[in-house]
Amino acid sequence: MRPFFVVLLMTAFLTGCTRKTEEQSAYIEIPKPADKGWAFESRPAWSDDFDYEGSPASSIWDYDIGGSGWGNNELQYYTKNMSNVSVSSGVLTVTARKEALGNREYTSSRLVTRNKADFLYGRIEVRAKLPAGKGTWPAIWMLPTEWSYGDWPKSGEIDIMEHVGYDPGVIHVSTHTEAYYFKINTQKTATRRIENATTDFHVYRVDWTPYAIRGYVDDLKTFEFVNEGKGSTTWPFDKKFHLLLNLAIGGDWGGAQGVDTTALPASMVVDYVRYYKMIEK
């Protein structure tokens, strides 16, 4: 065989191997994590028991302010006024009112721990009593602090508790990602009906590990979303998130059956918020 043809054949062989290797590597799946049965520390590493008076502690809480609709066509203007958010008698009270401010006819508040308390894995627990009334939409939830994978929903969202006033007593626990979110009807979600959600305190929590996010209502497991090992489109939950507490009025979901203005003012009352570190294994 002539040297020229040997070189030509060797080149074709090596090129074919390179392409095959590239094609194979494109389909390598990120290993799905094993459930190591992680536990959590028994004492909170961060908390607010609201054992003081006045505005929420500035060392812990910040605010989102404004009346932009917040991506859901919500009707309220968020403030940090004490008429909308205050601490007294051992509880935090977030109150929505029928009053004009800016371009909105309602006011309320949205507290955030962003850049003051940011978490990666752990147990987040909130004891709260929810507002009653059609049009109310309270939420206890988490958003990414740095948006490492892109804008919403690419960097994820964890909803520890959502409740809409026209469907009293039904608690929603959800996660949203690029692959699984409500605007394309693929969100991962679960519900639990509880008695006296608007008159009694209940405990809402998530246990967040590298394997799964599990949601609980009064210690009863309600929700589980397992890491599929397919990268950030399904699991962006390997970055720091912060906590939000807010009470919206109206919006695409909360206002789907209108707003009962006679129910206002209405309040979400929070007894405590606590974060427990995950114990590494």
Catalytic residue among 146, 162, 195, 224: 162
Catalytic residue among 157, 195, 224, 280: 157
Q: Is there a domain that residue 157 lies in?
A: yes
Selected residue with higher pLDDT from 2 and 275: 275
Domain count for the chain, please give it: 2
Q: Which pLDDT score is estimated for 31?
A: 73
Strand partners, 247: 138
134: nearest Cα among 269, 257, 280: 257
Q: Do 25 and 93 belong together in one domain?
A: no
Q: Distance between CA 248 and CA 106 in Å, rounded?
A: 9
Q: Do 56 and 112 belong together in one domain?
A: yes
* Mean pLDDT of the 143-168 span: 98
Q: Is there a domain that residue 22 lies in?
A: yes
Is 53 tagged catalytic? Answer: no
Q: Do 191 and 81 belong together in one domain?
A: yes
Q: Is there a domain that residue 172 lies in?
A: yes
The string of DSSP letters for 73-126 reads TB-EEE---TTTEEEETTEEEEEEEEEEETTEEEEE-EEE-TTTSEESSEEEEE
Q: The pTM is what?
A: 0.89
Is 162 tagged catalytic? Answer: yes
Q: Do 131 and 268 belong together in one domain?
A: yes
pLDDT, tens only, 179-212 = 999 999 999 999 999 999 999 999 999 999 999 9
Q: Do 99 and 161 belong together in one domain?
A: yes
* Torsion angle (degrees, nearest 10) of CA 103, 104, 105, 109: -140
Q: Is there a domain that residue 101 lies in?
A: yes
Q: What is the DSSP letter of 131?
A: P
CATH number for the domain spanning 102: value is: 2.60.120.200
Q: Is there a domain that residue 281 lies in?
A: no
| Share above pLDDT 70 across residues of the chain, in percent, rounded to a whole number | 89
Q: Do 243 and 220 belong together in one domain?
A: yes
Q: Are strands 85-88 and 104-108 parallel, antiparallel or unpaired?
A: unpaired
Range(s) of the domain holding residue 74: 36-276
CB 194 within 8 A of CB 210: no
3-state helix, strand, coil in the chain (%, to 5): 10, 40, 50
Q: Do 109 and 176 belong together in one domain?
A: yes
